[in-house]
Chains A and B, each alone.
Chain A
Amino acid sequence: MSAVIDSHGHVAGHHDHDHHHAPEGWRRWVFATNHKDIGTLYLLFAFTMLIFGGVLALLIRAELFQPGLQLVNPELFNQLTTMHGLIMVFGAIMPAFVGFANWMIPLQIGAPDMAFARMNNFSFWLMIPAAVMLGGSFFMPGGAPAAGWTLYAPLTMQMGPSMDAAIFALHILGASSIMGSINIVVTILNMRAPGMTLMKMPMFVWTWLITAYLLIAVMPVLAGAITMTLTDRHFGTTFFNPAGGGDPIMYQHIFWFFGHPEVYIMILPAFGIVSQVVPAFARKKLFGYASMVYATASIAILSFIVWAHHMYTTGMPVTGQLFFMYATMLISVPTGVKVFNWIATMWKGSMTFETPMLFAVGFIFVFTMGGFTGLILSMAPIDMQLQDGYYVVAHFHYVLVAGSLFAMFSGIYYWLPKWTGVMYAEGRGKLHFWWTLISFNVTFFPMHFLGLAGMPRRYADYPMQFADFNALASVGAFAFGLAQVYFFVMVILPCMRGQGEAAPQRPWEGAEGLEWEVASPAPFHTFEVPPKLNEDATKVIA
């Protein structure tokens, strides 16, 4: 029964539907096959990794608070930046969205569970050894990998044994992601309730369907790149070693062929969440549903042909630079369409601003700034100034933190009543929002200036002229980190403990969709019999 820690108070009236007794205690979680339990596990795992990656980030910011080395040596500094990136991307953001998918996709399409329940369990539990291995690499001889999260060759050749551990961990995480994606695709394509046609699916389901295809397409590419790194390191191959006829730049091509779609893997589900939340609180249907679907699909397709905009400074030929510049600029068109659609949804609505809506509007506002800096970076000539500098760091934190993370917060506040059966404290949610929004901008806005002024990224120490903005960013970072601890302790924990007002079945006046057709908290089993849906597949009529 949902995400409530205390599992004794099973929802009355649903006992009779439980053909087998729901497992209790540790068995419930280790042998979990219920999509809601697995979703909860994913979300808790992702939050743990968010805190781990966040602590690494704060160590980085503490070191950069002032010029000179105070806390860590440059080697450890590189380990921190590398691990921060790997953990946030593969440990926090991706699993968190899979957690949302597990919880919400069956509920939103009227399915009883995910298609492959045991594989679902396996793809979650695979992540634990991978995370332990990744985190444990700090204690291996030579410390954690320090080649940046992009793991560029030939620097990876100089890493200690922890590099192999990280490669193995990434392989496992990749396998877990692929299994999760296959599960999601099969669930969406085969298990929709009668009447839930593809073009009636909620946007969150659509964005995840497209994301899952992206994952299936590119995770093997990453696996290939890091396997080649592994064999270069140990088995005498020379894929990336020029001495044997290899090419270090080929690694970058392969990595970014994975890496750029990966960027959209981390943002498309966020688009989906925001597309659910904005209509709910504007009390108005999503504007341009069809064009949203097409825009998502075009972004996904375009994401495969823009990878080398990460590599303008490798010395690509003119034609290469121009092609990747044009293709990248083109992506801003469907992304713009999405922003316009959200605003058109808000237009002439009847809006209220509970925490989910605040985070959704915050997302639109701040994510768009990240979109603009992305457009600026896409221009190859300007990128000559900004590549591998703090402007890039600012840009991708604007799209990944203010983008993905804000959307996740929005989704958590939106669906938490459904997950736990308890309303979060609205005042605390609002405080969390403003605290997060302000400290986020204090942290990352000054980085634009640092980047324009030429401060390179991944630097343990920097010229004195950069000191003030760095100090400001560090102060902001600690405030931001603290806000997330507050969020967990003051918002999530009380809800999980069942403290607070009981949530009604549909806590949001304007919310539409099948997830609001089941009780709060969502019973352990839902839609065991395919529901009969109304015309636009948003309500159960029998």
Chain B
Amino acid sequence: MMNSTTKTIASGLLWAGAWVATAAHAVNDLPGGPAVRQLNMHPPATKIAAEQHSLHWMMMVICMLIFVAVFGVMFYSIWKHRKSVGHKPASFHESVKVEIAWTVVPLIIVVIMAIPATRTVVAQKDTSNADITIKATGYQWRWGYDYLKGEGDGISFISSLDNEQRVLSNTGAKGVTLDNYLLKVDNPLVVPVNKKIRIITTSSDVIHAFAVPSFGIKQDAIPGFVRDTWFKAEITGDFYGQCQELCGKEHAYMPIHVKVLSEADYSAWVKTQQTKKSAEAQPAQQVAQANTAK
């Protein structure tokens, strides 16, 4: 009876799994964002992200080797040293030599792991000599970007999730096949390729985190404090991230979209932004002048 219940449960699980797999939403990979059933980190778009990748692979390989060695021994022992195959228990229960060996060897392995990691830690914290400095301010629940230094300084705008997508989420997102679901913003952050961009983070309310996986950056945005990180994108394109520190009820709805343009395109973008800005500023100035004239 018990077996039949297990079988029913097992077949139920299989069925559910199969249904899930076939009913997979007809969604495609989003370049610069997540891919469907992605198994590893995003393809790197910066040197730092590439280093994180190779570090992760190094760790995976070392861990797999240890895993196979250790559990190879364990399962061999489980296979051979069973009572049911008539194995008699040995009586040893300590060996100083062996114990020292398996303390020292892991220590050496850990040191070997730490060396390349140290280099990357130092590199990713080096925010000096940036070409462009941008302040990213976390608000509940949108991002504000202020270009502080370098080409485009003075530009500033707010970037929020596309409202239609927010509504879709509330209605259960049935039949939605958007590749950029929950990642589409009104005003993406725009930066030039191959330039060192320093991002200063802060927040106006609670802690948020500015993260773009393809760039290998994640930096908390802390109210009352400024912190910084940097990236130098090596390819143009669109890159996506999401807020990564619980910041209240709309935490899942404050994405980050970074548009990396060629230098020429970036200059053109800066120009249009600045003319737009001066056009907006002019009427205000006229009003002000009119007021003082009175």
Binary contact readout A283-320 vs B (1 if CB under 8 angstroms, 0 otherwise): 11111111100000000000000000000011101100
With a CB–CB cut-off of 8 A, which chain B residues contact A431?
2, 6
CB distance from A72 to the nearest CB of B (A): 11
What separation, in Å, do the CA atoms of A72 and B179 have in the docked complex?
24
Complex CA–CA separation, A480 to B227 (angstroms) = 42
Partner of B106, one of A333, A341, A479: A333
Q: Is B288 close to A, CB under 8 A? A: no
Q: Which of the segments A99-107, A168-176, A463-471 contacts the partner chain?
A: A463-471
Complex interface: stretch among B144-152, B189-197, B246-254? B246-254
CB of A41 within 8 A of chain B?
no
Q: Tell me whether B106 and A336 are in contact (CB under 8 A).
A: yes
Contact A463 B42 (CB under 8 A): no
Which of B88-96, B128-136, B257-265, B273-281 contacts the other chain? B88-96
Q: Is the CB of A322 within 8 A of B246?
A: no
The reply to whether A468 and B39 form a contact with Cβ atoms under 8 Å apart is no
Contact present for A467 and B170 (CB under 8 Å): no
Q: Does A194 contact B (CB under 8 A)?
A: no
**A115 contacts the other chain (Cβ, under 8 Å)?**
no
CA distance A242 to B221 in the complex (A): 13
Return A53 CB to nearest CB of chain B, in Å.
Answer: 18
Bound complex: CA of A319 vs CA of B77, how far in Å? 44
Tell me, rounded to whole Å, the shortest Cβ–Cβ distance linking A238 to chain B.
Answer: 10
Contacts of A381 in B (CB 8 A): 48, 51-52, 55, 117, 120-121, 124, 216
In the bound complex, residues from chain B placing their C-beta under 8 Å from that of A315 are: 201, 219-220, 222, 227-229
Residues A286 and B93 in contact, CB atoms below 8 Å apart: yes
Q: How far is the CA of A427 from the CA of B177 in the complex (A)?
A: 46
A136, CB-defined interface residue at 8 Å: no
> A-B pairs with the 4 shortest C-beta distances?
A242-B224, A68-B173, A315-B227, A453-B38
Known contacts A68-B176, A456-B243, A463-B183; is-contact A387 B218 (Cβ 8 Å): yes
In the bound assembly, the distance between CA atoms of A461 and B66 in angstroms comes to 37
Q: Would you give 23 A-B contacts (Cβ < 8 Å), ordered by A? A: A70-B172, A154-B223, A155-B207, A288-B95, A289-B93, A313-B219, A315-B201, A325-B114, A325-B118, A365-B74, A376-B59, A380-B121, A382-B56, A384-B218, A388-B209, A452-B39, A452-B41, A454-B211, A454-B213, A461-B252, A463-B30, A463-B182, A468-B37
Contact of A321 among B24, B121, B228 (CB under 8 A): B121
8 A Cβ contacts from B40-97 to A: 40-42, 48-49, 51-52, 55-56, 59-60, 63, 66-67, 70-71, 73-74, 77-78, 81-84, 87-95
Q: In the complex, are the beta carbons of B102 and A384 less than 8 A apart? A: no
Is B103 interfacial (CB-CB < 8 Å)? yes
Do the beta carbons of B39 and A453 come within 8 Å of each other?
Answer: yes
Find out whether the CB atom of B170 lies under 8 angstroms from the CB atom of A313.
Answer: no
Q: Give the A-binding residues of B (Cβ under 8 A).
A: 2, 6, 9, 13, 16-17, 20-21, 24-25, 27, 29-30, 33-42, 48-49, 51-52, 55-56, 59-60, 63, 66-67, 70-71, 73-74, 77-78, 81-84, 87-95, 98-99, 102-103, 106-107, 110, 113-114, 117-118, 120-122, 124-125, 168-174, 176-183, 201, 205-207, 209, 211, 213, 216-220, 222-225, 227-229, 241-253
Residue from B21, B42, B83, B124 with most neighbouring chain A CB atoms (10 Å): B83
Given contacts A341-B99, A465-B33, 6 further A-B contacts (CB under 8 A): A68-B169, A243-B224, A350-B89, A369-B67, A431-B2, A453-B35
CB of A237 closer than 8 Å to a CB of B? no
Residue A224 CB within 8 A of the other chain = no
Q: When the two chains form the complex, which single residue of B121, B178, B220 contacts A314, counting CB atoms closer than 8 Å?
A: B220
Q: Is A344 an interface residue (CB 8 A)?
A: yes
- Chain B residues with Cβ below 8 Å from A351 are 77-78, 81-83, 87
Residues of A within 8 A of B93 (CB): 284-289, 345
Residue positions of A touching B, CB distance < 8 A: 66-70, 73-75, 78, 146-148, 152, 154-155, 158, 241-243, 247-249, 282-291, 313-315, 317-318, 321-322, 325-326, 329-330, 332-334, 336-337, 339-341, 343-353, 361, 364-365, 368-369, 372, 375-376, 379-382, 384-385, 387-389, 427-428, 431, 435, 442, 449, 452-456, 458-469, 471-472, 475, 479, 482, 510
Q: Is there an interface contact between A313 and B30, defined as CB atoms closer than 8 Å? A: no
Check if A475 sits within 8 Å of B63, measured CB to CB: no
Q: Is the CB of A318 within 8 A of B110?
A: no
Contact present for B110 and A380 (CB under 8 Å): no
